Structure 1
Amino acid sequence: MYYSRLSGAAPSARYGQIDLAGRIENASPHGLVAILYEELGVSIQLVAGCRNPQLQAQALSRSLNILQSLDGSLDFERGGEVAKTLSRVYEEARRLLLAGVREGELEKIQAAGGIIAEIAESWKQIG
């Protein structure tokens, strides 16, 4: 998943991936979710800004994978309505991303990014 970002990447990009790996290794469960939100935001920005269809597809795939990871980490038994609501939000973000790319509507991609940015900011404030 991360290797596609490294192939042919500049040294600074490779360093960024090493830094990310270190952050993941030392993160608490709350911190891991924060990292996922951060990486999802970056991926969505790449989807929105990329005009190369192949690179956009890679960024979209990464975004969808992160959304799936976030959704899969929800505990519906203990999380109750919050978990159900987050699952619906992640589904809406997936829908907006896919529709935005398919229909060439940047506004939908940006809306997905806005949704995730809002949740990420709330998550930071909890921690």
Structure 2
Amino acid sequence: MMYGAKAYAQVGLETGINSASPHGLIVMLYEGAIEAIRKAKIYLEMQNIEMKTKSVDKALRIIKDGLTASLDVNAGGALAQQLLSLYDYIGKELILANAQNNPERMDTCIDLLDDLRTAWLEIGQTATKS
């Protein structure tokens, strides 16, 4: 039964990815990273270090291979450079949070990513109205 639920969720995710705009994909990356960090916090509370580490690794991959890789530093100028620095900071905070089992550092990362997600959502709404 659990396999069916996972398969259904995977189809929903794939459909969302295939139909999303590039802007929407960035929002999905933010949401994925936030969710992975939230799970890491839960696993930390449960003292399940293996799953905590896997969740942090997933968040780091999303930040590095998704968000950072999507930046065009040449075309994006100063804003892209600032985002690059912020993603680097979040990645370092996550590594420290994982090594120190520090939920406060995880909260900092969640807050930063959520602020960015909110800004992207607002940009998307403004672009849609134009």
User: TM-score interval w.r.t. the shorter chain?
Assistant: 0.7 to 0.9
Deviation of 1:36 (Å):
0.7
Shift of 1:48: 1.5
**Structure having the higher Rg:** 2
What is the CA distance between 1:83 and its match in structure 2?
0.3
Do residues 45 (structure 1) and 38 (structure 2) align? Answer: yes
Taking only aligned residues, the RMSD between alpha carbons, in angstroms, comes to 1.5
Q: Find the aligned partners of 1:62 and 1:28 in 2 and give their Cα distance.
A: 23
**1:19-58 mapped onto 2 (5 Å cutoff):** 19-50=12-43, 51-58=47-54
Cα drift, residue 59 of structure 1: 0.8
Q: Does 1:112 align with 2:109?
A: yes
Q: How many residue pairs align between the two structures?
A: 120
Q: Where in structure 2 are there 5+ consecutive unaligned residues?
A: 125-130
Residue 22 of structure 1: how far off its partner (Å): 0.7
- Which structure has the higher relative contact order (CA within 8 Å, separation 6+)? 2
Q: 2-side partners of 1:65 and 1:91: how far apart?
A: 12
Q: Please show how residues 40-119 of structure 1 align to structure 2 within 5 Å.
A: 40-50=33-43, 51-68=47-64, 69-119=66-116
Identity %: 26
- CA change 1:101–1:37 in 2 (3 A) is same
TM-score by length of 2: 0.86
